[in-house]
C-alpha cells in the first residue's frame, strides 16, 4: 500500500477474511510500530516518511547491514556464495534490459540473503524493523540517472568480499553501498515523486 493510503476497516475485514476486532488490534500495533498513523474520526493511513527520517533510517541500516555482511563473510558456505552469485547475475541481466523495477527486487533479495547468512539474530530483528518502515516504498533511488550502474558495481564488491571471506572488505563495501544511497537521498531531498524521488525499493 502506498504512503498516505487510507486503511478502511471494513475493506480490510473483507479482504483479509478476519473480524473487525482483529483488524483493530493489528492497526493499533502497526501504529505503535510507526507503520501507520491513526487520526481521530478519520481512520488510519499508511505513514509517510519524511526526507530526514529516510536518511536516518538508511544511515542506521548501513551500520547494521555492514555488520551482517561481516558475519556473512565469516561463515559463507559455497552454496551461500553460489546463491549470491545467482542473484547478482540476474541483477546484471536486468540492468542490461533496463528493467530497473526488476533490479530493485533483485536488490531486495540480495540484501535479504546476506542478512539471512549473517546468522546474527539481533541484527536481523533490528534490520527487519527498519526495512518495515514505509521508506523503502516511498523512495526508489535506483531510478536516479546513472545509479543502476553504480549500484551494480557496489553489490558486486559486496558479493566478491563475502566470497573471499574478507570480513573487513565485506563490511566496508556494504557501508559504502548504503552510504551512496544516503548521498542520493540527500541530493534529492525535498523533491516530489515527479521531480526524481519516486516510490519503491532503495
C-alpha to C-alpha distance for 188 and 192, rounded to whole angstroms: 9
> Which of 46-50, 98-102, 180-184 has the lowest average pLDDT?
46-50
Cell 507503520 belongs to: 35
pLDDT at 199 over 50: no
Domain boundaries, the chain: 6-46, 51-195
Q: Residue 196: which of 58, 51, 46 has the closest Cα?
A: 51
Cell 533490479 belongs to: 103
CB-based burial of residue 161 (10 Å sphere; 0-12 exposed, 13-18 middle, 19+ buried)? buried
Residues 51-195: name the CATH superfamily.
Answer: GntR ligand-binding domain-like (1.20.120.530)
**Beta sheet of 43-46, edge-to-edge order:** 6-7, 43-46, 36-39
Q: Are strands 43-46 and 6-7 parallel, antiparallel or unpaired?
A: antiparallel
Residues 134/46, Cβ–Cβ less than 8 Å: yes
pLDDT at 146 over 90: no
**Confidence at residue 191, expressed as pLDDT on a 0 to 100 scale:** 56
94-134 per-position pLDDT tens digit: 999 999 889 989 999 999 999 999 999 999 999 998 887 65
Cell 537521498 belongs to: 185
Query: Which triple of cell numbers denotes residue 153?
Result: 558495481
Q: What is the mean pLDDT of residues 146-166?
A: 95
pLDDT at 45 over 90: no
Residues 88/155, Cβ–Cβ less than 8 Å: yes
Amino acid at each position: 500500500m502506498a504512503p498516505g493510503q487510507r486503511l478502511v476497516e471494513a475493506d480490510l475485514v473483507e479482504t483479509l477474511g478476519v473480524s473487525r476486532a482483529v483488524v483493530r488490534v493489528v492497526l493499533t500495533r502497526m501504529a505503535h510500530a510507526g507503520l501507520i498513523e491513526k487520526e481521530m474520526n478519520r481512520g488510519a493511513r499508511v505513514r509517510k516518511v519524511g526526507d530526514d527520517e529516510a536518511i536516518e533510517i538508511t544511515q542506521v541500516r548501513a551500520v547494521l547491514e555492514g555488520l551482517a555482511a561481516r558475519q556473512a563473510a565469516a561463515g559463507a558456505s559455497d552454496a551461500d556464495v553460489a546463491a549470491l552469485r545467482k542473484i547478482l547475475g540476474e541483477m546484471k541481466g536486468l540492468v542490461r534490459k533496463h528493467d530497473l523495477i526488476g533490479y530493485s527486487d533483485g536488490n531486495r533479495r540480495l540484501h535479504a540473503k546476506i542478512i539471512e547468512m549473517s546468522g546474527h539474530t539481533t541484527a536481523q530483528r533490528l534490520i527487519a524493523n527498519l526495512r518495515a518502515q514505509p521508506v523503502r516504498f516511498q523512495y526508489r533511488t535506483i531510478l536516479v540517472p546513472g545509479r543502476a550502474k553504480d549500484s551494480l558495481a557496489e553489490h558486486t564488491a559486496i558479493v566478491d568480499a563475502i566470497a573471499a571471506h574478507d570480513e573487513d572488505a565485506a563490511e566496508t563495501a556494504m557501508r559504502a553501498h548504503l552510504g551512496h544511497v544516503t548521498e542520493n537521498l540527500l541530493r534529492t531531498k525535498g523533491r516530489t515523486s515527479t521531480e526524481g524521488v519516486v516510490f519503491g525499493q532503495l
